[in-house]
C-alpha cells in the first residue's frame, strides 16, 4: 500500500524527489515503483548517455561526464531532497547531484552502483541473488521493486475483472518472457510451456490468460489454436490496451517464465499461487539463485505441470525501501 508510515503527515514536510530513469525498462520500473510506494509527488528525470558512460565508475567519479547534452540541461537547482536511481550508469550522476547540493540530497540506489564512492549513497538496495555486499548503507532485498502496491492491484481488479467474466474460473495467468542476452527461449520451450499450462488449466476446469513480451520472439497464437480450455491471448505487438497488470491482479493462479526477475517479482505481488517455468537451458546461475530465493521464502514454486491451492505474503521490495527512505528523511 502507499506508505503512510513514511508520510507521518504532521511531522514530515513534502520532500522534493527526483526519479532518475534511463533506457533500461527494468531499471525504470524499479525506480518508479519505489517513488510511488513512498507516497509523495516526484519528478521523472530522463537520463540518456553519451560515449563516456562506458567508462568504469571509478574513472567517472561523481560527475555528469557520461551524459549527453540534453540530459544535463534538466539537472539544475533547486536540488531535490531525495534521488532514487537504479543501475551502475546512474550512480555517477546521483553522486554529482549530492555533491552539488552540498550533501543535502539523499541518495537511494537500487542495485550495486559499481566501484568507487559507495559511501556517498544513503541506501544501496542489493538483491539477495547478487554477491553479498557489506556496509551500514546496504539493504538486502528479495526480487525487484515494482509498482503493484495494494491500491494499484485493487484498481486493476476493478478495471479488468468484468472484462474476464465471460471466461470460466479459476483464471490462470501465463506470463511469457523470452530470450535474454545469455539464453534463448526456443520453440521447444514454448511448446512445452504451452502444453503444460493448458493441461494444468484443463485439470482445474479454468481459463488461461496469456501475455507475451517483446522478448518472446515466437508466434504463440498457433500453440493455443486447438486449446481445450478458454484462452485470452495478448500479444505485446497488439495496439489494444495491455492487460498485463489485470492478469496479475485478477489471477487465481499465475505461471511465469523465469527469465525476467522483474516479471517474477511482479507475479508475486498478490497472495495467489505463483509457479516459475525455468528449464535449465533458459536459466543462468544468477537467475537460478533468484528462483531459489523465491522458493525458499515461499513466494513461488517450480512449475511441474500441476496447480495447487496455497498462499504467500505479497512481495514488493519497493515498500521496504520506501519505509527506510522515510526514516532517512526524518533525520
Residue 137 lies in a domain: yes
| Model pLDDT, residue 132 | 81
Residue-wise pLDDT tens digits, 63-87: 999 999 888 999 999 999 999 999 9
**Same domain as 234, residue 264:** yes
Same domain, 157 and 298: yes
At 11 the pLDDT is 54
Q: Residue 229's pLDDT is what? A: 97
pTM given for the model = 0.88
pLDDT for the residue numbered 166: 95
Please check whether residues 219 and 105 belong to one and the same domain.
no
Looking at residue 188, its pLDDT comes to 97
End-to-end CA distance of the chain: 23
pLDDT of residue 6: 43
Q: Are residues 226 and 173 in the same domain?
A: yes
In a domain, 54, yes or no: yes
Cα dihedral angle (160, 163, 167, 169), rounded to 10 degrees?
A: 30
Q: How far is residue 129's CA from residue 106's CA, in Å, rounded to a whole number?
A: 26
Q: Where are the alpha helices (DSSP H) in 204-232?
A: none
Geometric angle at alpha carbon 8, from 312 and 313, rounded to 5° = 0
Asked if 107 and 24 sit in the same domain, the reply is: yes
Domains: count for the chain: 2
Of 230, 228, 205, 231, nearest to 220 (Cα)? 231
**Whether residue 119 is found in the same domain as residue 243:** no
What single DSSP character describes residue 91?
Answer: H
Contact 176, 199 (CB under 8 A): no
* 312 assigned to some structural domain: no
Q: pLDDT tens string for the chain (331 positions)?
A: 444 444 444 455 789 999 999 998 889 999 999 999 888 899 999 999 999 999 999 999 999 999 998 889 999 999 999 999 999 999 999 999 999 999 999 999 999 998 888 999 999 999 888 888 888 999 999 999 999 999 999 999 999 999 999 999 999 999 999 999 999 999 999 999 999 999 999 999 999 999 999 899 999 999 999 999 999 999 888 878 999 999 999 999 999 999 999 999 999 999 999 999 999 999 999 999 999 999 999 999 999 999 999 999 999 999 889 888 777 777 6
DSSP characters over 1-32: ---HHHHTTTTSPPPPEEEEE-S-HHHHHHHH
The CA-based angle 87-92-96, given to 5 degrees, is: 135
Return the closest-CA partner of residue 228 out of 264, 253, 203, 198.
198
Amino acid at each position: 500500500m502507499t506508505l503512510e508510515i513514511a508520510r507521518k503527515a504532521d511531522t514530515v514536510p513534502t520532500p522534493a524527489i527526483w526519479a532518475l530513469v534511463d533506457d533500461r525498462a527494468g531499471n525504470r520500473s524499479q525506480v518508479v515503483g519505489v517513488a510511488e510506494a513512498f507516497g509523495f509527488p516526484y519528478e521523472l528525470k530522463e537520463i540518456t548517455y553519451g560515449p563516456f558512460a562506458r567508462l568504469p565508475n571509478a574513472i567517472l567519479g561523481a560527475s555528469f561526464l557520461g551524459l549527453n547534452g540534453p540530459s544535463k540541461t534538466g539537472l539544475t537547482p533547486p536540488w531535490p531532497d531525495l534521488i532514487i536511481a537504479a543501475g551502475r550508469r546512474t550512480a555517477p550522476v546521483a553522486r554529482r547531484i549530492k555533491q552539488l547540493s552540498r550533501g543535502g540530497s539523499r541518495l537511494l540506489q537500487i542495485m550495486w552502483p559499481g566501484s568507487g564512492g559507495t559511501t556517498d549513497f544513503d541506501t544501496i538496495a542489493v538483491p539477495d541473488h547478487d554477491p553479498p555486499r557489506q556496509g551500514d548503507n546496504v539493504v538486502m532485498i528479495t526480487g525487484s521493486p515494482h509498482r503493484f502496491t495494494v491500491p494499484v492491484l485493487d484498481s486493476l481488479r476493478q478495471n479488468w475483472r468484468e472484462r474476464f467474466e465471460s471466461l470460466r474460473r479459476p483464471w490462470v495467468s501465463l506470463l511469457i518472457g523470452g530470450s535474454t542476452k545469455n539464453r534463448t527461449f526456443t520453440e521447444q520451450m514454448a511448446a512445452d510451456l504451452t502444453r503444460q499450462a493448458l493441461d494444468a488449466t484443463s485439470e482445474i476446469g479454468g481459463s488461461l490468460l496469456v501475455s507475451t513480451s517483446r522478448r518472446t520472439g515466437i508466434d504463440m497464437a498457433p500453440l493455443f489454436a486447438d486449446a481445450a480450455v478458454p484462452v485470452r491471448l495478448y500479444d505485446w505487438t497488439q495496439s489494444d490496451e495491455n492487460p498485463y497488470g489485470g492478469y496479475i491482479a485478477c489471477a487465481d493462479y499465475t505461471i511465469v517464465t523465469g527469465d525476467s526477475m522483474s516479471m517474477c517479482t511482479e507475479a508475486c505481488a498478490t497472495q495467489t499461487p505463483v509457479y516459475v517455468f525455468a528449464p535449465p537451458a533458459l536459466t543462468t546461475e544468477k537467475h537460478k539463485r533468484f528462483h531459489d530465493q523465491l522458493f525458499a521464502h515461499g513466494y513461488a514454486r517450480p512449475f511441474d505441470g500441476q496447480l495447487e491451492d496455497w498462499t504467500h505474503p505479497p512481495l514488493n521490495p519497493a515498500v521496504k525501501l520506501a519505509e527506510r527512505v522515510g526514516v532517512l528523511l526524518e533525520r
